[in-house]
Structure 1
Amino acid sequence: MGWNVIEVDRLRRTYAGGFDAVNEISFTVGEGQLFALLGTNGAGKTSTVEVLEGLARPSGGTVRVLGQDPYSDRATVRPRTGVMLQEGGFPTDLTVRETVRMWSGCTSGARPVDEALGLVGMGKRAGVRVKQLSGGERRRLDLALALLGRPDVLFLDEPTTGLDAEGRRDTWELVRALRDGGTTVLLTTHYLEEAESLADQLAIMHAGRIEVAGTPAEVTATRPSRIRFRLPEGTEPGQLPLTLRAAADGRQIEIRTPELQRDLAELLRWAEELDVHLEGLDARSASLEEAFLDIAARRAEPAGTGAGVAA
């Protein structure tokens, strides 16, 4: 078993006016794990990550990255971390290669420029000026810079925003390879499919607190599975077994259940016995999106007001 590369214990971050952007959250990320931090806008994700990156001091609680305080021990921690911000500020008249070379001069043990560009599929764009890049290409350049120093810990803030489907998949494969090679990754993303595909562990934040955490499977298990179908003419919803908690909209039926296999088997036995054809039968476990939207809906009321902005 590896050790906890990131440790967050009752972290609090308070802005001017007493606004708690982060309100006593705790989690750990093991060595070589990918941890996804999710949440609605204003949930406190960016405020949390800024503390982990050493850009801000916590208002309360403790944070350790690689066993050290990322703020007070920044000179030690920073060379071992890679950071991909939501938006990079590049000199637009430099070429891609010139930008990476400039960044390389400020990075300890930097990869060769061509290697860094090759990792993110930007080798053929090395001679293009930054101002001529598409939004997706700028995100690739951001990632190349984050990987320059061969980081032990990688912070990725919305890494695939602006990428097309192919670029997003390529980035996923690169991130998986980095994780499998021992890099510890903390990811924030609005793409729930991304988190479900990549994360070993995840947490969903709302109003500065962690509402649910665990593996993707554990988090989705907090929501019921769903069975949908349409009854044929001559069969009424009231004929369904009473044990199946069904909701009907005309002949369109939806069953929500924590026991998908059991209730689906009962439904199919009932349909066979009565020779009923279930049109459009669709049975599936809950998705991470459903768990996320459920938290957003249940916590729709603002937790409080105050100065400052959190993300």
Structure 2
Amino acid sequence: MRVVAFGYMTWGRRTIEAVLAAGHEIPLIVTHADSDNPYEKIFNESVAELARDREIPVLVRNRADDDEVRAAIRDADADVMVVSNWRTWLPPEVFSIPRLGTLNVHDALLPAYAGFAPLNWALINDEPEVGVTAHMMNAEFDAGDVVLQRSTAITDEDTVVDLFDRTLAMFGPITVDALELIAAGRTDWTPQDRRAASYFHRRTDEENRIDWTWPARDLFNLVRAQVDPYPNAYCYHGPERLRIVRARVTETPFGGTPGRIFIRQGNGVVIVAGADARKGRNKGLLIETVRTDDGRELGAQEYFTRMGGYLTSHPVTP
């Protein structure tokens, strides 16, 4: 088939590579320009470079709703359009141009986790699995009928990078398989249950701020959802910003005040967690590795030379 491709960053590039490898013709690629957003500098394999290397015409846009884009898609005479990690809304007058419609590929088990950073948010929320959905695009963001969906279980050993690797490996195959179904004339797709839908915004520095009133399990999930190369979860030790690189949940409860630097245990230091920690029933967060603002990575017991005091969500001036 003739396939117009909209794509950005590693997700977009791998999807386009798979479509080409499957023997489809791509007469046009549309991508975004490089961004200063720290989340868009991660896993940023260039779609524009791929287009140039394969000598495929490419348009670079923030929003793809102008006359030139629409004309280029019509001139491409595409059977279908494939969209992967496109970061802005596509209007119906764009995605409806190809005769068989537009297939969007999203790294979430839709209808949940539409929008941005679905793997990070799902891990923070202690979901049992993540996955990838290939769906036909409609006028509502990430809401079209599902063509195919594939999942992978989340274990306590997983970080967001592990989930990225496993879901990224799904992008090419699910796209190629969905295109085969579309080419065969299938249209009996599964509507999304909009009652189960959720939509998430972009993550910023604020979303990585640790709140010690959260349960230790939630904090553990936040830390592993923000491992390198993502911006790390952080808190403050006095005036100093402290990034938490590695942590886990204690096996036994620790009572007191949220954020209290309590006791050395194993190879880490226990921090009291949970809004009702005063009742003594909450498990603590065992911090194992931290990173200071000057980039030094230290074991928790090396950094915390004495027990007592507090970690806080905002800086505290002595």
Q: TM-score range by the shorter chain?
A: under 0.3
Higher Cα radius of gyration: 1
TM-score normalized by the length of structure 1? 0.26
Question: Higher RCO, 1 or 2 (CA under 8 Å, sep at least 6)?
Answer: 1
